[in-house]
C-alpha cells in the first residue's frame, strides 16, 4: 500500500513568528524573555538634568544594569530583573545610582535589598526596599520644589557659580537641624522634616546644585580615628574641584562656654566651604568603592577670598584685619593661617595671653559700649580662630 502525504502551505503572521523565535531562543538560552529584551536595549549614556559622575566609572555591563535599576526605582517596581548576578557588581552599581540620583529619596539607604539568583545563570531578580507611600512621596517632592524655588529667589541674574554654591551651602545649613531620625539619611529629611544627618545634608546640596547647573558629586567615606562614616560633596567650579561639607558647616559646639547655644551667636561656619584639600583630608577619606576627582585648588577658600588667610603670624596685621572687619559692621571676626607654626603663635598671643582684649576695646569704642561680652572659638584642623561679639 502506498500512502501519499499531501502538504498544505501554512501561513504564519510576522508577530507570531517572532514569538516562536523568542520562545525557541528562550528554551536554548535558559533566560526569560524579559532578560533577552533587556540585553538588546540600547544603554543611554546621559540622563537629562543629571551629571551621573559615577555612571561613567562602570563597565559597559554595569552601565546597562545601572539603567535597569534606575528605571525600576523610578517606576517604584516591587521587583525587576537585572542582567547580571555578581553581588559586587550589583552592589557597586546600585550605590552608583543612589549617589548620582539624590532625588530618588524613596529608596532609603538603610532599607534592605534582596537579590534572587538562579544557579548557573547570569541574571537575577532585584527587590529594593521603599520608604514612603506614594502620597508621602508626592508631599516630599512638593517640599523639594518649594525649597528649590526659595533658593532660586536668592540668586540674582549673573551670579557666579561660586556664589551659587555658597548660597546653597548656607540655605541647607540655615534650614536643617542636625538630628537623627527616620528620615535622616535622605533629602526627605532636609526638605520635608527639616532635620537630617550628613547623608541628608550632602544629598540636599547635590540636588539643589544639579538643578542650578553646577556639577556636584556625592561622596561617602570615613572619619579619621572614628568608627563613624561621613558624607560630603565635591563641586566643580570652572575647571577645578572643591570640597563642600554642609554638615560640619552647621555650627559645631566649638565656641568656648555656652556661646554656641546663644541665638545671637549663630553663624555659618565657612571653613567647610571649599576648604584647603590637605587640611580637609586629614580628617575625611572617601570610600574606595568608586573613585572621586582630586581636589587641589585653594583660590575659592572663604578666607582666601576675604583676605583673612595669613601665611605667617604678625600681631599688627591681625589687629588691623580685625578692625577692618568691625569697621564693616561684622559681629564675627575670623581668620586662619596656612601652617601650624603661625597658628600656634597667634593662638598663644590672642587667646592664652589675652591680646583679643585689644579688639574688644576697639569694638566698644566703635559702638559706644561701656562693656562687651565676647566668645572665641578655634578649629584646629583648619588653623582658624573666631571672635564673636
Which tens digit of pLDDT belongs to each residue from 321-379? 999 999 999 888 999 999 999 999 999 999 999 999 999 999 999 999 999 888 888 99
Domain boundary among 272, 304, 336: 304
Q: What is the pLDDT of residue 7?
A: 38
Share of residues in the chain with pLDDT > 90 (%): 77
- Residue 8 included in any domain: no
- Residue 48 included in any domain: yes
201 shares a domain with 52: no
- Residue 4 included in any domain: no
145 shares a domain with 118: no
For the chain, the domain total comes to: 3
185 shares a domain with 330: no
pTM, rounded to two decimals? 0.89
Q: What is the pLDDT of residue 211?
A: 97
Q: What is the pLDDT of residue 226?
A: 85
Residue 91's alpha-carbon distances to 22, 291, 345, in angstroms, are 30, 15, 49
Which tens digit of pLDDT belongs to each residue from 39-88? 999 999 999 999 999 999 999 999 999 999 999 999 999 999 999 999 99
Flag whether pLDDT at 12 surpasses 70: no
Residue 49's alpha-carbon distances to 164, 214, 215, in angstroms, are 17, 10, 10
Measured distance CA(214)–CA(96) in Å, rounded:
19
286 shares a domain with 145: yes
- Residue 19 included in any domain: yes
Give the range with max mean pLDDT: 18-22, 127-131, 241-245.
241-245
Domain boundary among 270, 304, 338: 304
322 shares a domain with 255: no
Q: What is the pLDDT of residue 258?
A: 55
Q: What is the pLDDT of residue 9?
A: 44
223 shares a domain with 259: yes
Q: What is the pLDDT of residue 26?
A: 47
User: CA Rg, the chain, in Å?
Assistant: 28
- pLDDT-based confidence at 268, cuts 50/70/90? confident
Q: Report the side by side order of strands in the sheet with 216-223.
A: 240-244, 229-237, 216-223, 284-286
151 shares a domain with 273: yes
CATH value at residue 241: 3.10.620
203 shares a domain with 75: no
268 shares a domain with 141: yes
188 shares a domain with 147: yes
Q: What is the pLDDT of residue 109?
A: 61
319 shares a domain with 293: no
**Rounded mean pLDDT, 174-187:** 91
Share of residues in the chain with pLDDT > 70 (%): 87
- Residue 5 included in any domain: no
**Rounded mean pLDDT, 29-38:** 88
pLDDT, the chain, mean: 89
Domain boundary among 127, 161, 187: 127
Measured distance CA(304)–CA(335) in Å, rounded:
10
Q: What is the pLDDT of residue 166?
A: 98
Q: How many CB atoms lie under 10 A from the CB of residue 232? A: 24
**Rounded mean pLDDT, 130-147:** 95
Q: Are strands 177-178 and 195-196 parallel, antiparallel or unpaired?
A: parallel
- Nearest Cα neighbor of 235 from 297, 193, 318, 315 is 297
Range(s) of the domain holding residue 83: 15-127
Instruction: Report the SS3 class of residue 7.
Output: coil
Q: What is the pLDDT of residue 110?
A: 60
Which tens digit of pLDDT belongs to each residue from 249-266? 986 666 655 555 555 556
203 shares a domain with 87: no
Amino acid at each position: 500500500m502506498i500512502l501519499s502525504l499531501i502538504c498544505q502551505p501554512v501561513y504564519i503572521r510576522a508577530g507570531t513568528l517572532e514569538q516562536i523565535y523568542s520562545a525557541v531562543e528562550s528554551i536554548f538560552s535558559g533566560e526569560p524573555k524579559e532578560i533577552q529584551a533587556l540585553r538588546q536595549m540600547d544603554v543611554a549614556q546621559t540622563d537629562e538634568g543629571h551629571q551621573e559622575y559615577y555612571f561613567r566609572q562602570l563597565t559597559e555591563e554595569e552601565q546597562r544594569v545601572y539603567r535597569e535599576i534606575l528605571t525600576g526605582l523610578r517606576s517604584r517596581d516591587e521587583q525587576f530583573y537585572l542582567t547580571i548576578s555578581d553581588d559586587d557588581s550589583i552592589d557597586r552599581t546600585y550605590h552608583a545610582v543612589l549617589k548620582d540620583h539624590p532625588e530618588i529619596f524613596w529608596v532609603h539607604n538603610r532599607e534592605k535589598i534582596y537579590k534572587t539568583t538562579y544557579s548557573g545563570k547570569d541574571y537575577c531578580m532585584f527587590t529594593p526596599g521603599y520608604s514612603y507611600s506614594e502620597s508621602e512621596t508626592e508631599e516630599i517632592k512638593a517640599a523639594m520644589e518649594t525649597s528649590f524655588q526659595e533658593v532660586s529667589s536668592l540668586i540674582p541674574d549673573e551670579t557666579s557659580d561660586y556664589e551659587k554654591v555658597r548660597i546653597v551651602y548656607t540655605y541647607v545649613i540655615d534650614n536643617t537641624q542636625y538630628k537623627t531620625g527616620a528620615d535622616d539619611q535622605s533629602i526627605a529629611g532636609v526638605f520635608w522634616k527639616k532635620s537630617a544627618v550628613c547623608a541628608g545634608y550632602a544629598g540636599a546640596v547635590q540636588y539643589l546644585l544639579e538643578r542650578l547647573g553646577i556639577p556636584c558629586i556625592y561622596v561617602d567615606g570615613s572619619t579619621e580615628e572614628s568608627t563613624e562614616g561621613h558624607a560630603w560633596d565635591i563641586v566643580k567650579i570652572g575647571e577645578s574641584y572643591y570640597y563642600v561639607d554642609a554638615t560640619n558647616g552647621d555650627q559645631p559646639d566649638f565656641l568656648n562656654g555656652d556661646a554656641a547655644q546663644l541665638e545671637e551667636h549663630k553663624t555659618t561656619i565657612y571653613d567647610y566651604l571649599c576648604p584647603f584639600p590637605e587640611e580637609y583630608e586629614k580628617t575625611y577619606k572617601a570610600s574606595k568603592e568608586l573613585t572621586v576627582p582630586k581636589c587641589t585648588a585653594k583660590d575659592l577658600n572663604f578666607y582666601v577670598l576675604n583676605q583673612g588667610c595669613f601665611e605667617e603670624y604678625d600681631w599688627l596685621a591681625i589687629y588691623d584685619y580685625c578692625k577692618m572687619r568691625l569697621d564693616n559692621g561684622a559681629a564675627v571676626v575670623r581668620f586662619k593661617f596656612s601652617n601650624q607654626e603661625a597658628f600656634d603663635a597667634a593662638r598663644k598671643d590672642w587667646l592664652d595671653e589675652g591680646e583679643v582684649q585689644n579688639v574688644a576695646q576697639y569694638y566698644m569704642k566703635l559702638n559706644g559700649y561701656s562693656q562687651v561680652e565676647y566668645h572665641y572659638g578655634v578649629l584646629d584642623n583648619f588653623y582658624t580662630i573666631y571672635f564673636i561679639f
